[in-house]
Chains A and B, each alone.
Chain A
């Protein structure tokens, strides 16, 4: 019998989260709740200098005065911020020199995820800075990178070893008081990645970090800071998978990118946190603040494949401060069952001749809600700013919803802005066309969904494309060939 859209829908609904497992590693977890002492304790545990502790406390003090945002188009039970443990680190805190020293159980976890470290080391040439429950436990290829002068390490290490760089740039793109979750993150972030590419250096390999939430009831507060100095280039990959958990887990990360003159940063994300089960129970809350600043002739490109999380709230943005700078945003957001995604981007044109491109593809199935929310802002001095935005939504089934909220603000008469959005389902005529040519319905749907997302998938680095494909399959298996 031919595979129909109905069957695909059914399959999507019954598809369980494949990566739901839980690694039994002794964790060193803080008591639940948040107050100044906890913030101090985190800072102390991480052996941070005084300025960092003060910075965190400042963030905490602004956070307690802030309210959780409510403008987004998602509904969820607000997390109890006093019911979360804000620090959890795997017990062994020694640095591993080789993979043999790593907890075998942990390695097994990565194998299940399809991230065999050694395999990747050899085959993909990817330097992986693996983060499990907030503390970086394995860093590879550091030597190779060090020869080029590239710093790629965990942020806590960077705070100790490169305090000047961190001090100068942390909070410069996403200020402490930027928003509720950014402030929370600034106060309690436990670890994350730091990357510095010196002048004129082209990073020879894709840098990659895997985030996972492991311990029950722990929030994940990652802090990533990528600095690309003049005329340098870096491609940074970030992938997320989290084990199955019943209660909602909170993930509030902050990513800051700084692209100096003529530098280019390519930042790709595959996000597959646990989306909750068929009834919408459980799942991760993903409230992320990502922002990059472009100096003269710099370029920042965000690519994201969002398939997981019960609630996603994420707007990777570009501040095009320098003249001739370029911002790009490519996104695929897939929601299924009761998932909700409110995602998009902000392109702030400040410099002359700045350009931005936004391509957003939303696919909703089941009872899910998928929103695109974006802002294109052209300031009075941004002469000849150029923007092109395209937001397409694909609906599968009649119980899901697709929403588009684009904000366009132009204050310069030489700006050229185009925005278009479409919403449709897989056309019967399209399937019929394929059937006619001997392509069965299953393949046809695969073809159409693939074609629908191609513009974005193409933007992923080769090394990552395989992984992205794998993660997309979990959400839309049967449709992606």
Chain B
């Protein structure tokens, strides 16, 4: 029985666990039908031309989380942003861990999707937002929707500034064979509100885990959202991250994705601009090696005039790693005065590494400034020579240059704790010690 059949046949059992009269029951059922119709994407789909799921889908994933696992804070502390005060929503094998978490209802709602879906208090927000911008024609999103159960629910009310960043951490521990996790997050940020979110997926021991995550983010007028994703997982953990962002007038949303490890990472990042004077930022650093595979698939839809979008993705690929970047800027006919910029720079460190990049522009308005730039190259030989002639060993020189290459993405990171954390991760990844935080 292949995974698709298994999922479809498990659906009934899954639904029975939950409340069948739940208002999203119908949504789940129709999404499952949609998934049944579409199936898993293959390399024949243009959007998946360079990324094959075939190998991953061969695993016999367990679909339902097993019993709760308890883990000690001291064992996993290093995966948190521990040096600053934060709200935390922590899941272990897809199950909420109240012990490790720190949620709140004080001025803002930082809680669980499962309670948001079942309690009347949240009904209005759920009805208005849930599954409204997620792409119904995307089979993986549909699959997630049909198995929606748990995840983070964040609601920042009008004119509230969340005083602490929020961490969403997913741990997986299973040693009982491959596991499929499908977290579902909803983030609603009302007018003039601000929030910073940090998301991380981490498996704690070697086992096949596939995460198919869907996050919907709504930013109302003047809202400010900063979202940071850290993907530095073990070698047999894979993630397909589907993030959908809807922005209203004058809102600023930025999503930073740091991909340093994992077997296969696919980031589907979609921005829909639904007002004027919006600013969308998408940045990413990818540093991978071995046989890792990272695929960034971005879409920005400029539907209204006077908006901006900035994309900047840096990639450093070693060994037999494969990098994919597929960025699309879509400018609607009425979206005049759009400024859309897209940049993708890549360095191949080894002969065996591969990069496939496809920056696309689709423009229907004439008074716009849109550009994309894309480069593939190596470290500058002159710069290497300069450093080495000053007594810096080859490895360090290489590290320094790659670090410098990726650094300007870090400049827009607003939380110092994240910045220094990423700095360390990069230095670690490049095998050099960079003595100071630049």
Using CB atoms and an 8 Å cutoff, list the residues of chain A in contact with chain B.
71, 378, 380, 393, 395-425
Contact A405:B360 (CB < 8 A) given known A398-B365, A413-B349: yes
8 Å CB contacts to A: which residues of B347-374? 348-374
* Chain B 317-354: CB-based contact to A (< 8 A → 1; otherwise 0): 00000000000000001001000000000101111111
* Neighbouring B residues of A423 by C-beta, 8 Å: 361, 363, 368-371
Contact A398:B351 (CB < 8 A) given known A405-B358, A424-B368: no
* Neighbouring A residues of B362 by C-beta, 8 Å: 401, 403-404
On whether the beta carbons of A406 and B366 are closer than 8 Å, the reply is no
Q: When chains A and B are docked, how far (Å) is the Cα of A415 from the Cα of B378?
A: 8
On whether the beta carbons of A410 and B368 are closer than 8 Å, the reply is no
The 4 nearest A-B residue pairs measured at CB = A413-B348, A395-B366, A417-B376, A419-B374
Cβ of B377 within 8 Å of any chain A Cβ, yes or no, is: yes
On whether the beta carbons of A413 and B378 are closer than 8 Å, the reply is yes
On whether the beta carbons of A416 and B377 are closer than 8 Å, the reply is yes
Which of A393, A399, A418 has a CB less than 8 Å from the CB of B333? A399
Which of A399, A410, A420 has a CB less than 8 Å from the CB of B376? A410
Q: When chains A and B are docked, how far (Å) is the Cα of A386 from the Cα of B348?
A: 14
On whether the beta carbons of B366 and A419 are closer than 8 Å, the reply is no
On whether the beta carbons of A414 and B375 are closer than 8 Å, the reply is no
B407 → chain A, closest Cβ, in Å? Answer: 21
* Neighbouring A residues of B355 by C-beta, 8 Å: 408-410
On whether the beta carbons of B377 and A400 are closer than 8 Å, the reply is no
* Neighbouring A residues of B120 by C-beta, 8 Å: none
Q: When chains A and B are docked, how far (Å) is the Cα of A260 from the Cα of B411?
A: 51
Which of B357, B363, B378 has a CB less than 8 Å from the CB of A416? B378
16 A-B pairs besides A395-B363, A399-B333, A400-B366 with CB distance below 8 A are: A71-B46, A380-B351, A398-B367, A403-B363, A408-B355, A409-B50, A410-B376, A414-B351, A417-B375, A419-B359, A421-B361, A422-B371, A423-B368, A424-B368, A424-B370, A425-B366
Q: When chains A and B are docked, how far (Å) is the Cα of A380 from the Cα of B353?
A: 9
On whether the beta carbons of B366 and A408 are closer than 8 Å, the reply is no
* Neighbouring A residues of B333 by C-beta, 8 Å: 398-399
* Neighbouring A residues of B378 by C-beta, 8 Å: 413-414, 416
The closest CB in chain A to the CB of B372 belongs to A421
- The bracket for how many chain B residues form the interface is 35 or more
Q: Which secondary structure characterizes the binding site on chain B?
A: strand
* Neighbouring A residues of B351 by C-beta, 8 Å: 380, 412-414
Which of B356, B364, B371 has a CB less than 8 Å from the CB of A420? B371
* Neighbouring A residues of B371 by C-beta, 8 Å: 420-423
Q: When chains A and B are docked, how far (Å) is the Cα of A378 from the Cα of B377?
A: 12
The closest CB in chain B to the CB of A369 belongs to B364
On whether the beta carbons of B354 and A410 are closer than 8 Å, the reply is yes
The closest CB in chain B to the CB of A402 belongs to B363
Q: When chains A and B are docked, how far (Å) is the Cα of A119 from the Cα of B310?
A: 56
On whether the beta carbons of B372 and A404 are closer than 8 Å, the reply is yes
Using CB atoms and an 8 Å cutoff, list the residues of chain B in contact with chain A.
46, 50, 333, 336, 346, 348-378
* Neighbouring B residues of A420 by C-beta, 8 Å: 371-374
Q: When chains A and B are docked, how far (Å) is the Cα of A290 from the Cα of B354?
A: 28
On whether the beta carbons of B376 and A398 are closer than 8 Å, the reply is no
Contact A425:B348 (CB < 8 A) given known A405-B360, A410-B354, A410-B355: no
On whether the beta carbons of B376 and A402 are closer than 8 Å, the reply is no
Q: When chains A and B are docked, how far (Å) is the Cα of A422 from the Cα of B361?
A: 9
Which of B346, B359, B365, B368 has a CB less than 8 Å from the CB of A406? B359
On whether the beta carbons of A404 and B353 are closer than 8 Å, the reply is no
On whether the beta carbons of B353 and A424 are closer than 8 Å, the reply is no
* Neighbouring A residues of B372 by C-beta, 8 Å: 404, 419-421
Q: When chains A and B are docked, how far (Å) is the Cα of A425 from the Cα of B367?
A: 6
Contact A409:B354 (CB < 8 A) given known A417-B375, A417-B376: yes
* Neighbouring B residues of A412 by C-beta, 8 Å: 348, 351
The closest CB in chain A to the CB of B347 belongs to A413
* Neighbouring B residues of A403 by C-beta, 8 Å: 360-363
- 14 CB contacts below 8 A, A to B, read A393-B361, A395-B363, A398-B336, A398-B366, A406-B359, A406-B360, A407-B358, A408-B355, A408-B376, A419-B375, A420-B372, A421-B359, A422-B370, A423-B369
The closest CB in chain B to the CB of A401 belongs to B364
Q: When chains A and B are docked, how far (Å) is the Cα of A406 from the Cα of B46?
A: 13
On whether the beta carbons of B366 and A397 are closer than 8 Å, the reply is yes
* Neighbouring A residues of B336 by C-beta, 8 Å: 398
* Neighbouring A residues of B46 by C-beta, 8 Å: 71
* Neighbouring B residues of A414 by C-beta, 8 Å: 351, 378
On whether the beta carbons of B377 and A408 are closer than 8 Å, the reply is no
On whether the beta carbons of B363 and A418 are closer than 8 Å, the reply is no
A230 → chain B, closest Cβ, in Å? Answer: 31
Which of A71, A396, A417 has a CB less than 8 Å from the CB of B366? A396
Q: When chains A and B are docked, how far (Å) is the Cα of A410 from the Cα of B346?
A: 10
* Neighbouring A residues of B360 by C-beta, 8 Å: 403-406
Q: When chains A and B are docked, how far (Å) is the Cα of A399 from the Cα of B336?
A: 12
